[in-house]
Chains A and B, each alone.
Chain A
Amino acid sequence: MATLEIKGLHVEIEGKEILKGVDLTINTDEIHAIMGPNGTGKSTLAQAIMGHPRYEVTAGTITLDGEDVLEMEVDERAKAGLFLAMQYPSEVAGVTNADFLRSAINARREEGDEVPLMSFIRELDAKMETLEMHEDMATRYLNEGFSGGEKKRNEILQLMMLQPKFAVLDEIDSGLDIDALRIVSKGINEMRGEGFGCLIITHYQRLLEYITPDYVHVMAAGKVVKTGGPELAQKLEEEGYDWVYEELGIEETKEQEV
């Protein structure tokens, strides 16, 4: 079992503090969901875990099995087992999806031990079939001209090919129609199990009907303010967030999403 532990995390962007002491522990074989309205710091948490260049950690720690994640370069975090499915994946012209994936897989292997081309293609084909992606997506340039739904599927394809220990899925459900949501969930559920932990960031309970979380957390004003089981998501869907704020006696302070 591996553990990703976040303690007292404070994060700023351009001098503005967004996260104000986040505590969260995720083990492999667990699915966590973080819910909360826009501007409460959910995406900031995701980006900070992966090491986005614009986000500055000012206090707190992130460790993976005791190793200091914050000391690692972005690629080292990935090689240590972290993965972020991005809300807005970059488009990289001229680099095919397949070439990119192969580079990413080979980056995890020793020189001279690169993944054999045929087995790579077989695996890619199989995962693309699961995600009901058209086969030309492999030879298209990375995310270039992809629709919103195609980009999300492509993020999950990368997740399935790279098999990380921990994945953070940043609003993987936004902009997906019900069919795409079902397909994306199928991919994530295939990953579910021993050796895989997941943090799902979402506004909506909808996704959690397909992927049942073990834990649901609510974020407000840059902190995790409440934790429960799947029933918490249901309640949030039905009753909104006001009761959480009232219960905890916190003022609803929405901040600008960055």
Chain B
Amino acid sequence: MTVETKLALTEQDVRSFSEKMNEATWMTDFRADAFAKLEQLPMPKPDKTRIDRWNFTQFPTHVVESDVYANLTDLPEEARALFSEDKEHNVYVQHNNTPAYTSLTEDLKAKGVILTDIFTATREHEELLKKYYMTDGVKVDEHKLTALNAAYMNGGVFVYVPKNVIVEEPIQALFYHDNEDASLFNHVIVVAEANSSVTYIENYMSTVEVAKGQVNIVAEAFAGDNAQLTFGAVDVLPEGFTTFVSRRGITARDSRVDWALGLMNDGDTIAENITHLIGDGSESHLKTVVVGRGKQRQNFTTEIISFGKNTNGMILKHGVVKDESTAIFNGIGKIEQGGVGSNAEQESRLLILSDRARADANPILLIEEDEVTAGHAATVGRVDPLELFYLMSRGIEKEEAERLIIRGFLEPVVAELKAEGVKNLLAEVIERKLR
């Protein structure tokens, strides 16, 4: 048996949806072009995970209508908790597929900062969005799933910080899912122009026990010359979803894109995070933590590619697998010809908590240039018995000692997230998944 790959929508469906959302016509055409490519494009081939039987294309409905929120206080409690008590601005909330709350401070608006849902952005910021939307980051024709995102896109946010603007308070996006029929084809664009600085944190949260839809997320992050962009994400999507998520960073000269990703989905997931260090002297630090449980299968590709001179790419990945879950971690440090003086480092550490769980770390270095430095460290194993002995020798019970060690092991990303509510959420989700 092979999974039906017949497409759920027609080109006309895609065009009608675009019109219904009042998108600018360029986006309608862009979708139609992507749609035309869908049939012949191959599926992605994540290393060491066979996905030919995974369902990425069938879902109950393309779009659901959901309520909007007049205030953040109208959010359900668990969602409200993501935002500090006094926070009302620099927030985008999407309720299933509906842009439900958007607020930016007057000060930032006056400085030219943009925070808007992606549909509105096609009209109001056409030239800007066109410049970044699937051009230098993720390409439409990388494979079927990127084209699917382009054609079916039904949500997302556009964040733009003009040059020389420092956004102190993090910009937070919440993608709140509470309808089991809803699918998320989100597209996120975050741009930090020259000499600017911004932290963007997105959360995927669901109240649904078993989802019936699809998740296909593309996020593209661009840092201009000497800009600092920190991208945080905590994905907590339920069982039932098949998730494809591609987060991509592009750096200009002397800029920095940092990632802090807590990938806590309960469904089968293909996640890739790739950063292209284009500009000389640019840098990316990528930290990601993962917990696999139940029977879920997950594949994580993290890659930093140095094109520019004297660039620095650091990957840190910590993963825990339990029950019968499988997780593959492909880490790639690549230095292209011309990347003289660059450094590519990666560290993958995986903890296996049960006999039937499986985890693989595949560290790969691809070096096309001399005069560079590169390194990797990978470990796959159990909780260190000596650490356990040490904690137990102070009176801490074995179970609690293990919990402390594992929690500590996943701490690097928790510590990086710049919003207290998001930190707490990730810590709670980790506890819940480990229980």
A: residues with CB less than 8 A from B are 50-53, 73-75, 77-79, 83-84, 86, 89-90, 92-95, 99-100, 103-104, 107-108, 141-142, 158, 162
Known contacts A93-B411, A107-B400; A75/B390 CB under 8 A = no
- Decide if B387 touches A94 in the complex (CB within 8 Å): no
The interface residues of chain B lying within 8 Å CB-to-CB of A141 are 408
The interface residues of chain A lying within 8 Å CB-to-CB of B408 are 92-95, 141-142
Stretch at the interface among B104-112, B252-260, B391-399: B391-399
Is B366 interfacial (CB 8 A cutoff)?
no
Known contacts A52-B389, A53-B385; A162/B394 CB under 8 A = yes
The interface residues of chain B lying within 8 Å CB-to-CB of A74 are 389, 392-393
Is B17 interfacial (CB 8 A cutoff)?
no
B396: contacting residue among A83, A90, A103, CB under 8 A: A103
For chain B, which range describes its interface: under 10, 10 to 19, 20 to 34, or 35 or more residues? 20 to 34
- Decide if A92 touches B390 in the complex (CB within 8 Å): yes
The interface residues of chain B lying within 8 Å CB-to-CB of A50 are 389, 393
Known contacts A53-B385, A103-B404; A94/B392 CB under 8 A = no
Number of A-B contacts (CB under 8 A): 81
Interface residue SS majority, chain A: mixed
A interface footprint on B403-415 (CB within 8 Å = 1, 0 otherwise) = 0110111111000
Interface residue SS majority, chain B: helix
A-B contact pairs, 21 of them (CB 8 A): A51-B393, A73-B392, A75-B392, A75-B393, A75-B394, A78-B394, A79-B395, A90-B384, A90-B387, A90-B390, A92-B387, A92-B390, A93-B409, A93-B411, A94-B408, A94-B410, A95-B404, A95-B405, A99-B404, A107-B394, A141-B408
The interface residues of chain B lying within 8 Å CB-to-CB of A52 are 389
B: residues with CB less than 8 A from A are 384-387, 389-398, 400-401, 404-405, 407-412
Smallest distance from the beta carbon of A20 to chain B beta carbons, Å? 24
10 more contacts with CB within 8 A, not counting A74-B389, A93-B409, A162-B394, are: A75-B392, A75-B401, A83-B394, A84-B393, A92-B390, A93-B408, A94-B407, A95-B407, A141-B408, A158-B394
In Å, the complex CA distance between A150 and B68 comes to: 55
- Decide if A75 touches B404 in the complex (CB within 8 Å): no
The interface residues of chain B lying within 8 Å CB-to-CB of A107 are 394-397, 400
